Structure 1
Amino acid sequence: MKWTVIDTISCPNTGIVFSGIVSLKMLKLIIWYEGSVIIPPGSVIEPFEDSVKIDGEYTLMKIYNVTTFKQSAWQELKDKITCREGLLDDSALCLSPFRCALKVCPYGKERPQESA
């Protein structure tokens, strides 16, 4: 079964990523997951027993939950879960004073190396 990603929200506090997905039969769901990838909108995913195929590549990820997609609940999530650092500037470094739990930055930023 193939699904297309509608939108993705990443929570820097918990490291959980939420992706809204739609099937060819227009069934809409939200998957809650954690992994080394954040699935961008437009990607095609296929679930398998122990992994997920994203745009043709197998990726290991831990799926926590799958729920029905409701636009009002999705919008509420988007309004509450934000990373202000990603919206501040075009810098390649994340200078947020808060610890981010995400394994990969949705904005492509990297944390500066901590000095010993």
Structure 2
Amino acid sequence: MVNMEWFIKQAVVCSKTGTAFAIASNLRNLNLILWYRGDYFLQKGNTLSVTSFGLIVNGKTRKLQLLHVFSFSHSLWVSLTQNLDCPGNTYPMIRHCPKRPGCLFKHCPYGAMLPHQ
């Protein structure tokens, strides 16, 4: 299998489903929307390699399960980002999240904690 290298341009998460979406672009400027779940949150600037050994992010093997791959559509991406209810998608430097109690991620992809009690 030939290695395919992809560059992550944008990424968002869905706290209600515990899944994430990312825009990936290759050297030929083919853009895809990845819908996935796993132990790692893809971030803008990451390099994703598809190899016979699995998915490798920035040179490290990661357990990512691709649920679906869509051809990039600006309107689809806008629809996704507007309908995902995670404060970190808008404010990635979030420290305390009021949505954490109902979030399906064991660890917040943005590093937020529960709000102060």
- Name the TM tier (shorter chain): 0.7 to 0.9
Matched, 1:94 2:83: no
Report how many residues are paired.
111
Q: Percent identity?
A: 26
- The amino acid of 2:63's aligned partner reads L
Unaligned ranges ≥5, structure 2? none
Preserved contact between residue 29 and residue 66 of structure 1 (Cα < 8 Å): yes
Alpha-carbon distance, 1:49 to partner: 4.1
Provide the TM-score with structure 2 as the length reference.
Answer: 0.80
1:7-45 deviation per Cα after TM superposition (whole angstroms, max 9, x unaligned)? 111000001101110010011111111011110011110
CA RMSD, Structure 1 to Structure 2 (Å):
2.4
Spell out the pairing of 1:24-35 with structure 2 (5 A cutoff): 24-35=27-38
Pick from 65, 68, 82 the counterpart of residue 65 of structure 1.
68
Mind listing any 5+ residue stretches in structure 1 that lack a counterpart? Answer: none
Cα pair 1:50 1:60 within 8 Å, conserved: no
Distance 1:31 1:86 in 2: 16
Contact 1:16–1:33 (CA under 8 A) maintained in structure 2: yes
Summarize the Cα distance change of 1:49–1:13 in structure 2 as closer, same or farther, 3 Å threshold: farther
1:76-115 to structure 2, matched below 5 A, reads: 76-84=79-87, 92-96=95-99, 98-111=101-114
SS in 2 for 1:106: coil
1:54 pairs with 2:57: yes
Q: Is the 8 A contact 2:36 2:68 kept in 1?
A: yes
